[in-house]
Structure 1
C-alpha cells in the first residue's frame, strides 16, 4: 500500500526532475535568443531561480530521508533537449519558445499546488513552506511570461516583415 508519505516523496522527486528539465530548457532557450536582449535577460534570471529551486527541492527530499531520482532527472533533461532542438527549426522560434515557457510555468504551478497540499496533509510544515515559496516564484514567472507574450509577438512580426532582419530568435 502506498502511503501519503510515499506519494509525497514520489512527487518531490518528480518536481526535482521537472526543475532539472526546466534548467535544461531555459539554458538552451537563453543561449539561442539573439535579438531580444530583454527577453534573454528575464530567461537567464529565471534560470538562476530555477537552479535554486532544484537545490531547495533536493534539500527537502534529503531532509525527508530520500534522494533524487537519477532516471527521472535524466529523462527530463533529454525531453528538454529534444524540445530545444525542435525549436531551432521553427521560423518563429522566439514566439514558440515563449509559448512553451508559459505552458511549462503553468504545469509547474499545478504541480506545486499539489505538493503544498500533500506536504500539509502529512504534517510536513517545513517542506510545505519551501514548496509554497517555490509556487509563489512560479506564479510570478508565469505572470511575466504572460505579460511578455503580446510584446514578443508584435516585435517578432515587425522584425519578420523587415528586410534583412533575423526575427526568429
Structure 2
C-alpha cells in the first residue's frame, strides 16, 4: 500500500471509531441517573465527538473517498454490545467509566499515529485537525482519570445502602 492508502484507511478507521464513541457515550449518558458530574462530562464529550466526526469526515471528503459502511456498522454493533453488557453489571457505572478511560486512550493513540501519517504525506490540514481532536481526547481521558476514584467511591457508598440503586 502507498503512504496515502494507509493514511486514508486509518482516517476511515478514525471516523468509524468516532461513530462508535458517540453511540457508546449516548447509551451511557442515557442510563446515568445518580452520577450528575459524570453524566454532564459525557454529554459535553458527546458534542465534542460529533464535532470530531465532522472534522474527520472533512479529511475523508478532501481525498474524495468515503467512510467505510462496514466499519461504521461494526463499530455501532460493538458499542451496542458494550452498552447492553454494561446494563447487566451491578457495577455498571464503574465499569463504564473504566471502559471510557480505556477507549479515550485508544483514541489518543490513534490520533497520535494519524498526525504522524498526515505529516509524512504532507497533509498539514489533516495534522492540524487531528491535533485539535487529540487535545479533546486527552482532556477527556484526564477528566476520567481524575474522577474515577470519586465515581468508584460514590458507587461503593450507594451500593452499601440498602434499597439504594448504585449501578447507574
Give the Cα separation in 1 of the matches to 2:68 and 2:158: 43
**What pairs up with 1:1-169 in 2 under 5 angstroms?**
2-169=1-168
Give the Cα separation in 1 of the matches to 2:73 and 2:50: 15
Question: What 5-or-longer segments of structure 2 have no aligned partner?
Answer: none
Give the Cα separation in 1 of the matches to 2:119 and 2:64: 18
Give the Cα separation in 1 of the matches to 2:36 and 2:112: 32
Secondary structure of the structure 1 residue equivalent to 2:77: helix
Deviation sequence 1:11-52 (CA, Å, 0-9, x none): 000000000000000000000101111111111110110011
Q: Supply the RMSD in Å over aligned alpha carbons.
A: 0.6
TM-score by length of 1: 0.98
Give the Cα separation in 2 of the matches to 1:142 and 1:37: 18
Give the Cα separation in 2 of the matches to 1:36 and 1:124: 41
- Alignment coverage as a number of residue pairs: 168
TM-score by length of 2: 0.99
Secondary structure of the structure 2 residue equivalent to 1:49: helix
Question: What 5-or-longer segments of structure 1 have no aligned partner?
Answer: none
Once the two structures are TM-superposed, the CA of residue 155 in structure 1 deviates from its matched residue by 0.6
Give the Cα separation in 2 of the matches to 1:106 and 1:154: 23
